[in-house]
Amino acid sequence: MVTDDAGQGGTAAGQDNNAGHQGGAGHNMVQLITPAGERVSHPEYDPWVRDVSDEQLCSLYEDLVVIRRIDKEATALQRQGELGLWPPLLGQEASQVGSVRSLRDDDFIFPSYRENGVAYCRGVDLPDILRVWRGAASGGWDPYAVNMAIPQIVIGAQTLHATGYAMGIQNDGADSAAIVYFGDGATSEGDVNEAMVFAASFQVPLVFFCQNNHWAISEPVRLQSHTQLVDRGAGFGIPSMRVDGNDVLAVMAATRVALDRARRGGGPTFIEAVTYRMGPHTTADDPTRYRDPNELEDWAAKDPIGRVHALLDRKGLFTEEFEAGVRTKADAVARELRAGCVGMPDPEPLDVFKHVYSTPNSWLDRQQDHYSRYLASFGDPEGATQEEGAR
């Protein structure tokens, strides 16, 4: 089934809910599982997910549930003061799972700061997912251990990094690809547009994966674009697809199409995954100040987890045993996440000086030396234990 239910405009501030604000040719939205959980056929995209077995479908469902649980646990940890901030991905699970589960291990991922579901699927250690948000590091993991770059806070900056990385893949003659995640707001940034120019000019193996979650903090997507975001691709000469971002199979199919093109030397692809950020931008945000509650309700009916649940039910796969297994897994992940968070040691004071340069720097060495002396001045010269807080 193909639906043109764009849902682009949002209903806040009395705006029309449809694509009228975002004119242009428009793309139909690829959907393979309806919100009611019905598997619908699509001649062009079905072949790309024909191999997805019932077992794999169950595994995708587990991913979705576990990621939602991670999100919930992290939000709780923030509320309890264990994290400084958390950017929830509630509602975007299918976009992240469908895309990342299409990648090979040698493909390289460039995320923004909200791809915590991608990080989980990529095998990032659970505490490392939280490290940035706890304030214990600026980047949580070793990118080369999982072939996934560390989070990027500057909006859209990573699209250029991904393009450059893909230029490197091309120079190396490898058949891997890069994928870059960004949001609807990022499409307004110069860097994203420059990245598309470079990627198209050099025909690099790269997937631009835009999660259109409809809101850039308080700014609706209609403020970013007068056309559907997917239409931007055509202007750069980049083949583009618009998929239901709450449909894990549709996202998987689209990503596989794009990766196949990349590996065959066909250059970049732009995917607009139409989804919705059901929570706040971050735990510091209050969406009730700018968002119509009816809009949230509309999108809750299109929930990415509910529809796979319904589909599995229809297939007779959603047994009590399966459900219990998924719950047990989610509980275990949440426990490990929490333990890893509260047990995470603070960095040492002198760690602030580490890794600024990879070779010695006389300015920094001097400052570190002076600060070391300063810190040492609090120590007991006799070597006795220093009392906490003593000055």
Kindly list the catalytic residues. 277, 281, 290
Helix (H) or strand (E) holding 208: strand 206-212
Q: Of 331, 357, 379, 386, which lies in the binding site for another protein, with binding defined by CB under 8 A? A: 357
Rounded Cα gap, residues 238 and 72, in angstroms: 37
Helices marked H in the chain — which ranges?
Answer: 54-79, 93-100, 116-122, 126-134, 143-146, 157-172, 190-202, 230-235, 248-263, 293-300, 304-314, 320-342, 362-376
Size of the site for another protein (CB under 8 A): 43
Q: Of 20, 23, 123, 168, which lies in the binding site for another protein, with binding defined by CB under 8 A? A: 168
191 scored as a contact of another protein (CB under 8 A): yes
Nearer to another protein, 362 or 385 (CB): 362
For helices 54-79 and 126-134, what crossing angle results, to 10°? Answer: 30
Q: Of 13, 300, 339, 356, which lies in the binding site for another protein, with binding defined by CB under 8 A? A: 356
181 scored as a contact of another protein (CB under 8 A): no
Q: Of 50, 289, 355, 373, which lies in the binding site for another protein, with binding defined by CB under 8 A? A: 355
User: Which range touches another protein (CB under 8 A), out of 2-10, 160-168, 288-296, 320-328?
Assistant: 160-168
Residue 163: exposed, middle, or buried by beta-carbon count in 10 A (0-12, 13-18, 19+)? buried
329 scored as a contact of another protein (CB under 8 A): no
Nearer to another protein, 132 or 248 (CB): 132
The SS3 of residue 234 is helix
136 scored as a contact of another protein (CB under 8 A): no
- Strand-pair partners of 33: 39
User: Which range touches another protein (CB under 8 A), out of 70-78, 165-173, 256-264, 319-327?
Assistant: 165-173
Q: How far is the CB of 232 from another protein (least distance, A)?
A: 16
Report how far apart, in Å, the C-alpha atoms of 192 and of each of 101, 184, 208, 209, 274 are. 24, 11, 9, 11, 18
CA dihedral 300, 304, 308, 314 (to 10 degrees): 30
Q: Of 18, 80, 138, 288, which lies in the binding site for another protein, with binding defined by CB under 8 A? A: 138
Nearer to another protein, 71 or 191 (CB): 191
**Footprint on this chain of another protein (rule: CB under 8 A):** 108, 110, 137-139, 142-144, 149-150, 154, 157, 159-169, 171-172, 178, 190-191, 194-195, 197-198, 201, 354-359, 361-364
